[in-house]
Structure 1
Amino acid sequence: MKDSKETNSKKNTLNLPGLTMLGLGGAIGSGIFVASGIAINQAGPSIILSFVIGGIISTLIMFMLAEMSVVEPTTGSFSVYAGEYLGPAMGFISGWMYWVAGILTLATEMVAAALIVRFWLPSWSIWMISLIIAVLIICISLLDVRSLARVEEILSLIKVGILVVVIIMGVVLFIGLWPGLKSPGISNYFNHEGFFPHGLSGFFSSLLLVVYTYAGEQVIGPAAGETQDPVKTVPEAVKIINVALIVLYLGSITTLVGILPWNRVPLNGSGFVPLFGQLGLISISSIMNAVILSAILSAMNSNMYGVPRMLKSLAERHDAPAFLNKEDKRGVPVSAVMLSSAFLLCVVGISYLLPQQILVYIASSAGVALITNWLIIAATHYRFRRRMNGKTIIAAVLLLVVLSTSAMNGNQLVGLMVGIIILMLLACLYFLSARQQHFALRKK
């Protein structure tokens, strides 16, 4: 395998805290703070079960990825492994699907951040704010990995801290110690049309967006190639990240729908802002919005680290144009960053055309692309182990269930169709171009 197994100590600069914060930073963003409002309105209080299922799926997939990363740490990660164990076509599709999902995820974060900024600038258009945010993130992504990791550590600590605060406030209120307020008990979980207000169809419809909230932790795959002692660091980081995400997500969502009736959670905005209002903390709405904005920017920062590096890895394996393999003396893949940025800016135009539907359309499309990639990781892990195991079966079945349920919701159906079209286009692209390139290289 000739994908870059970086041995240059200058590149291997991510330690355990840096890798952990990068993974948490990639996951905790618009999915939990903004897009979760859409899922809550679909599932009601049963959103808690959706987050349990999402946590199980992400944990299984990330442990599979960690197991393979220990054997061969590389910035190509799951794309390299898919190429080795499933064939070059799957390696090509996996890498490009991750890149597409990453761009869509970045676009979702960008639009979500724009919606938050409109709290202060209501007269500004979404596309204009999105453009400013995109330029800011592009500038940060041109930093070297050590500087980028430092920025991410600070931003990640802020958003982890706010979710911890939400959970603590929930505990204080539920045990009846919040000044001036009576504990709601379990009433909000059952009083507003029940635990499943929209039936099982509403619950299943929420799964795609919930799984999407866990998506960004996949960045630890491409980051493995720039990590100190990856054999030890990657598995440890995966354990910490998954435990932290499950505790933070379940704790904060259980608190949110337990204190704030699910039908009062906004569709376009963060449910955590009215939650603070419910607790009598209306005066800190601006502070809360600022914290949520920093959380979303942190997720964009993490994803903008992983997406160009996957593109560079594809170029190294002749699955992308050769110029994308170039990097500067600091190890930053500048060409890959700029091309990824160009496609991100294209979404600014889409947000101009579809300002209202843009968030759910892009988030569901990213979710479908993500699940497709996770299915490839599960299949790769099966070939890697060369025997079927319960971990692979459970993950694959749950992912297929989530993927099929996206057809139950009109907006998510758009995302499903987009994902299928992207998959077909990538398959055609491989057989029309990259396949010939691989054959030519073999003859040499």
Structure 2
Amino acid sequence: MSNQNINGSHHSGELQKSLSNRHLQLIAIGGAIGTGLFMGSGKTISLAGPSILFIYMIIGVMVFFVMRALGELLLSNLEYKSFIDITTDLIGPWAGYFIGWTYWLCWISIGIADLSAIINYLQFFNNGVPFSPQESALICVASIFFIMGLNLVTVKLFGEMEFWFALVKIIAIVVLIAVGLWMVFTGFTSTSGDIASFTHLWSNGGLFPKGLDGFLAGFQIAMFAFVGVELVGTTAAETQDPERNLPKAVNSIPVRIIIFYVVSLMIVMSVTPWNHVNPNMSPFVGLFSQAGIAAAAIIMNLVVLSSVMSSMNSGVFSTSRMLFGLSREGQGPKLFGKLTSRHVPANALYFSALCLLGGAALQYFVPDTVKAFTLATTLSTVLFICVWLMIIWSYIVYYKTRPELHAQSKFKMPGGLFTCWIVILFFIIMLYVLSLEPDTFQALKVSPMWLIILCIGYFFLKPKKKK
């Protein structure tokens, strides 16, 4: 690991600590409210019914434990800049290489999925008429250049944009909860004749209307809704006073999950019975459409669109920092380890943007955006599970080999090793669950190809590392 000054003057060639507590808190919230919640929850509701509320709580608890493990690891050594440093130090160089490149692909696949979502949401303003392949590709290219422009300026601007993106999402969900509660308490009758009531949560087949099969099927898409919460970890290197700000950001994750996932979806299913929710439409837009509030439906669609842009913004930021870290560890091309005068890893940004342009090409050759979205999101979920498992593995090694650091920690992982094994078991079960549905099994079958590519890449990079 580099011993250069981590405060990051231009000459030291390090990332700057330009993100404040305000930025970190909102980046953490932005990571917890993504495309998976806004776009994927309609399909999850149709598969699992009201049991979706338990699904989000269970996944939320497991992801929170992963974040607590990551938080303790980051604070145990303030020289750690990301997962790459942690896994390289605790497991070995191959682990840093694996987690860095896998996390990079996670966000590239999410970026490609987001491009599909952007086209889907923009069709709302095109009277629902699908765009031509040429128009879809142009929309993708424009979105990529816009996000790349934001990231090229400064780290502080990234933090500022993500702050406002997240704030818009929070306000939208709070408004949705308030409007939904008003509809329930006034007995509002929707355009389809449904009277808003909390009884919808249990009166249409109970809390588990589709039984165990439906409950398990709901996990597949719900898992994707949580990808990105670990962004708090990747931004730690560019955060002021991490010892104070990082624990605050991590500990507030459960509250966010309850408010943004559980309460908001409970309101959605109280206004519209779960079996009347359109799986191909964002239930957040659907709630205002059901209410007959056209202007609100348009505004909500714009919010959902900004959420996708926020996801892409976070993704491009994250991928460029991963490539920067890999380059500095000798596990990626040296070109990616160079910073501009604004302390931005521009070459890493260009490469990630170029890979996202492949997503624009995909939109041109595969016009079925829903199919592209499903495959990309499932692949990213499988890869994210691998990343989360590597974080837990690193924690186990740290716990056993550095007991003095664990003893000194002021931000200990609750339950220690016992919790780690529970989380590992849960994620292994989730990989099995992903094999139950044909569409998600397709992506699961493809994922081992990435391991083969990584092994070949490591074979060529390893001699350079030794040299």
TM-score, normalised to structure 2's length?
A: 0.88
Unpaired segments of 5 or more residues in structure 1? none
Give the match for residue 181 of structure 2.
Answer: 171
Find out whether 1:413 has 2:425 as its counterpart: no
Which of 422, 425, 431 is residue 394 of structure 1 equivalent to? 422
Which of 147, 160, 166 is residue 156 of structure 1 equivalent to? 166
Give the match for residue 298 of structure 2.
Answer: 286
Give the match for residue 198 of structure 1.
Answer: 210
Which of 9, 19, 23 is residue 18 of structure 1 equivalent to? 23
Which amino acid in the other structure matches residue 274 of structure 1? G
**Whole-angstrom distance in 1 between the partners of 2:276 and 2:79:** 45
Shift of 1:164: 1.3
Q: Secondary structure at the match of 1:50?
A: helix
Change (3 A) 1:3 1:129: farther
Which amino acid in the other structure matches residue 7 of structure 1? N
Shift of 1:3: 7.4
Greater displacement, 28-37 / 320-329: 28-37
Give the match for residue 144 of structure 2.
Answer: 134
**Whole-angstrom distance in 2 between the partners of 1:85 and 1:410:** 37
Give the match for residue 277 of structure 1.
Answer: 289
Change (3 A) 1:408 1:95: same
Which of 374, 392, 396 is residue 378 of structure 1 equivalent to? 392
Which amino acid in the other structure matches residue 43 of structure 2? I
Which amino acid in the other structure matches residue 415 of structure 1? A
Give the match for residue 124 of structure 1.
Answer: 131
Q: Are the counterparts in 1 of residues 33 and 260 from structure 2 also a CA contact under 8 Å?
A: no
Find out whether 1:435 has 2:457 as its counterpart: no
Q: Secondary structure at the match of 1:217?
A: coil
Find out whether 1:36 has 2:36 as its counterpart: no
Shift of 1:221: 1.4
**Whole-angstrom distance in 2 between the partners of 1:324 and 1:155:** 27
Aligned length: 438
Q: Secondary structure at the match of 1:120?
A: helix
Which of 40, 50, 53 is residue 55 of structure 2 equivalent to? 50
Q: Are the counterparts in 1 of residues 74 and 80 from structure 2 also a CA contact under 8 Å?
A: no
Give the match for residue 364 of structure 1.
Answer: 378
Q: Are the counterparts in 1 of residues 196 and 272 from structure 2 also a CA contact under 8 Å?
A: no
**Whole-angstrom distance in 2 between the partners of 1:393 and 1:6:** 34
Q: Are the counterparts in 1 of residues 189 and 195 from structure 2 also a CA contact under 8 Å?
A: no
Which amino acid in the other structure matches residue 7 of structure 2? T
Where in structure 2 are the equivalents of 1:205-244 lying within 5 Å? 205-244=217-256
Change (3 A) 1:3 1:308: farther
**Whole-angstrom distance in 1 between the partners of 2:262 and 2:338:** 42
Which amino acid in the other structure matches residue 301 of structure 1? N
Find out whether 1:301 has 2:313 as its counterpart: yes
Q: Secondary structure at the match of 2:447?
A: helix
**Whole-angstrom distance in 2 between the partners of 1:76 and 1:70:** 10
Q: Are the counterparts in 2 of residues 27 and 299 from structure 1 also a CA contact under 8 Å?
A: no
**Whole-angstrom distance in 1 between the partners of 2:197 and 2:420:** 39
Shift of 1:429: 2.4
Change (3 A) 1:5 1:67: farther
**Whole-angstrom distance in 1 between the partners of 2:306 and 2:26:** 14
Q: Secondary structure at the match of 1:228?
A: coil
Identity value in percent = 27
Shift of 1:324: 0.6
Which of 341, 348, 372 is residue 329 of structure 1 equivalent to? 341
Deviations 1:238-274 (Å, cap 9, x if unpaired)? 1224422332111111112222232333333311111
Which amino acid in the other structure matches residue 339 of structure 1? F
**Whole-angstrom distance in 2 between the partners of 1:309 and 1:140:** 15
Where in structure 2 are the equivalents of 1:60-79 lying within 5 Å? 60-73=65-78, 76-79=81-84
Unpaired segments of 5 or more residues in structure 2? 10-14, 404-415
Give the match for residue 8 of structure 1.
Answer: 8
**Whole-angstrom distance in 2 between the partners of 1:343 and 1:3:** 31
Q: Are the counterparts in 1 of residues 151 and 157 from structure 2 also a CA contact under 8 Å?
A: no
Change (3 A) 1:3 1:31: farther
